[in-house]
Each structure stands twice: as structure tokens, then as C-alpha cells.
Copies of this chain bind each other. A is one copy, B any other.
Amino acid sequence: MKQVNAEVIGIGTELLLGQIVNSNAQWLSSQLADLGVNVLYHQVVGDNEQRMTDVFALAESRSDLIIVTGGLGPTEDDATKQVVANLLNKSLYVHEDTMKEIENYYIQNGLSMSPNNKKQAELIEGSTLLPNAAGMAPGVAIHENETTWVLLPGVPSEMKSIMNEGGFQFIKRQVGVDATIHSKMLRFIGIGESQLEHDLQDLISGQTNPTIAPLAGNGEVSIRLTSKAATLDEAKDMLRETEAEIERRVGQYLYGSDDDTLEAKVMELLKEKGYSISSAESLTGGRFIDQLITIPGASEITKGSVVCYDTEVKSGLLEVPQLILETQGVVSSSCAETLAVNVADKLRSSIGISFTGVAGPSEQEGQPVGKVFIGIYVDGELPYAKEFHFNGDREGIRNRAVKKGFQLLYQMLTQ
């Protein structure tokens, strides 16, 4: 199979000043991945002809396909077409039909055209015009010296419109893409990134198609499997075998794939088993129940929650005995267990989960920042609580506590 190596270049001072995020590079990269094109580099440079020339020349030296976004506008600064033309020893000319369209636009809207607008109608000698249904400046595509260039406006809606209407077609034809890339995410809970990688080390380093990439973030670990083949069916088949081997080794930590989330999985399991759940939340302040309620259909399994941030709410509405508060304190296993039982009782749900601990910034009742108890009570069984020590700032600790709560529920529900 032919390998096509690509890079995506963004032009614009607003990117370098951090005023906007380079969402164009993300969108183009994800679309090119689906075509089987390897995007190996992104670059961003400002509206400066010398630096643009350097960046374009570097790209030409290493890439089969170069997509440039930005610098096609009417202002003095907009130099993308001129710089590429210079690099390819070509000249620019005014495309008459485009020029007429621009003139018509100005007439129809009662605006006066400035001489600069002519720039938007310029094409590189020997290039192909890519129509822009969403705006004024057309895209420009040219294949020269074994490199394919696609020049696009920086406005995302125009960029996408041009690519979808003719840009991807041009690329497929010119670079002869004939492969399909298929990706699948496997989602794990209860295993660290390094442990997962350790258990799969030989697979990860031994395989190139499919590739196996561990990813961490948001308190979870995932693996991205990516295969490349002539057809989608072949690509999927190639994944299946690797996936089975991964499941054989670390399947006990696997909870889902692709767009699955732990929260939705927990909700699904609660529904399956006919449970309803309520939470008593101190440091997490409602974040656990909020994440459940984010999922449509939560009303089938969620009653609600008592956010017992103040001790008075723990002892009042949730009736944690003074004896526990005085001898064990609010950050204790006993308090967590009682909260879990009592919130389930008060809100008439079959499961109660509780969170109590120290989110910081300062310690509380002599307990260190990051110390958290999570209590779980299920329908007539004995309640239990687990102790954790989370790192991070106030928000990090609260997020980790909530994620851990979902993890404990998942384990309980799948035992």
C-alpha cells in the first residue's frame, strides 16, 4: 500500500497570540486519518512572507501532501498564494469568473469593492480552483514536484465546505489514496497506564499494523487500536485479533469501547439490575449526581442527592449521630457509611453512595488535603467505606473522588 505523508499548516497571528485554537488542524487531521493519510506534522506561522517561505519549503522537503489554512483573504497580510507560487516558480493570475462573482456580491449588497478584493480571485498558474460555497475566497489545489498543495481559507466553515465539496476528492485523485484506517478505543478502569503498558509491552512494541497506543487522562486509561488496510472490512478484521489478545490479558479491567463512558456504563448496569441510586455529597458538592443526570434517561435510576457540605446538614437532614461526628469526625469511615445508608433511606433508593473528605486548600479537623472516604450501601446489605488519598488541587481532588465513586460502583455491579 502506498504511504502518503501529510502536514497541516495554519497561517495567522491570531493562532500565535492564542486568541483562537487551531481547530482547523484537528478537523483536517481527523478527516485525513479516515482517508488513510498519515499526518506527521502540524505547523503554525504568522503572516510573514519570509517565515512562511521557510515553513513551506520545509514542508515540501518532507511531505507528499501539504494543506494550508489561512492567508487567502483580501488584506495586504494575506500572502499564502504568493508564497507558494514563488516557491513553485509560478505566477498568479486573476480568475475572471471568480472576479465577477465577487463584484456581483458587492453590487448586490450595495457595498463598494476595494482594489484588495482582487487578491481573492487570484489563482496559481496551473492550479485547480476548489469552489467555496460558504464564502468569497475559493480554495486552490496544485500538484507539482510530486507534492500536492491544498490552500484553504482560515474560516472553519469555509474550509470545511471547500474540502467536503471538492478538496478531499482532489486529494484522493492526486495522491492515489487507496487505504482505509480504522480505529477503535478500548476503555479501562482500575488499572494504571504503566501497568497496562507493562502487561502489553510485547504487543505494543512488536506490532505496526494494527498499532496499539495507551492513552491516559481524566482518571482513566484507554488503548487506541489503529489498523490500515485496503478496505474497511479488512481493517476491522485486523483489529479483531489484536483486540481478542488484549482482552485475554487485561479483560478484567475493560469496561467499554469507543464512545462508551464509565458513567453511562454504570447507569446501564443500574438499569439492568433494577436499582435506583441517591448520593450524599460533601466535598464533591453534587458533582457525582450531576454527572449521572447529564446522561439522558437518568430519571429511571436516579432519585436525587443531598449535598451535605455543611456538617449541620450531615447531622440534621441526614441524621449522622453526634457520637460519630465527635469521636470519628466528618472525614471518617463511619460518617461515610452512615451517610450512604441514610441518604438511600431518606430518598427511598436501593443504593446510597457518599463522599466525605478534604478538598482543600487547607486541612480540615486535622485531616490532610486529599483524604477522602467513599461509602456505599446496597439494599439491605452491610454498608462499607473505602479510604483514598488523592493528589492535586481542590478541583482535581473533587474530580478524582467522583471518578473513583463511579469505579467502585462499576466494580460492585459487575462482581
Which A residues fall within an 8 A CB radius of B?
Answer: 10, 13-23, 25-33, 39-46, 51, 55, 58, 73-77, 105, 108-109, 111-117, 133-136, 155, 157, 161, 183, 192-195, 197-198, 201, 204-205, 213-217, 224, 226, 279, 281, 283-290, 292-294, 296, 298-299, 302-310, 312-313, 316-317, 346-348, 360-361, 388-389, 391-396, 398
Contact = CB atoms under 8 A, between A and B. Distances in A.
20 contacts: A17-B39, A17-B183, A18-B27, A18-B33, A21-B21, A76-B201, A108-B389, A109-B388, A113-B194, A117-B194, A133-B392, A134-B392, A281-B286, A286-B289, A286-B290, A290-B290, A290-B307, A293-B309, A296-B361, A307-B307
Contacts of A215: 14
Given A75-B214, A285-B286, A286-B290, 5 more contacts: A73-B193, A74-B194, A281-B286, A305-B306, A316-B346
A307 B309 contact: no
A168 to B, nearest CB: 14
B25 A23 contact: no
B306 A193 contact: no
Nearest to A117: B194
Across the A-B interface, give the 5 residue pairs with the lowest CB-CB distance, nearest first: A286-B286, A18-B30, A285-B293, A18-B29, A42-B44
Given A42-B15, A42-B43, A305-B286, A391 B135 contact: yes
Interface centre among A195, A226, A285 (most CB of B within 10 A): A285
A335 to B, nearest CB: 15
A316 B17 contact: no
The copy count of this chain in the complex is: 2
A279 to B, nearest CB: 8
A309 B285 contact: no
B348 A312 contact: yes
Contact of A40 (B26, B51, B135, B392): B51
Nearest to A28: B18
B33 A17 contact: yes
A43 B62 CA distance: 14
A213 B73 CA distance: 13
A299 B310 contact: yes
A205 B76 CA distance: 9
A42 B42 contact: yes
Given A42-B43, A393-B133, A306 B304 contact: yes
Contacts of A360: 296
B193 A75 contact: yes
B294 A303 contact: no
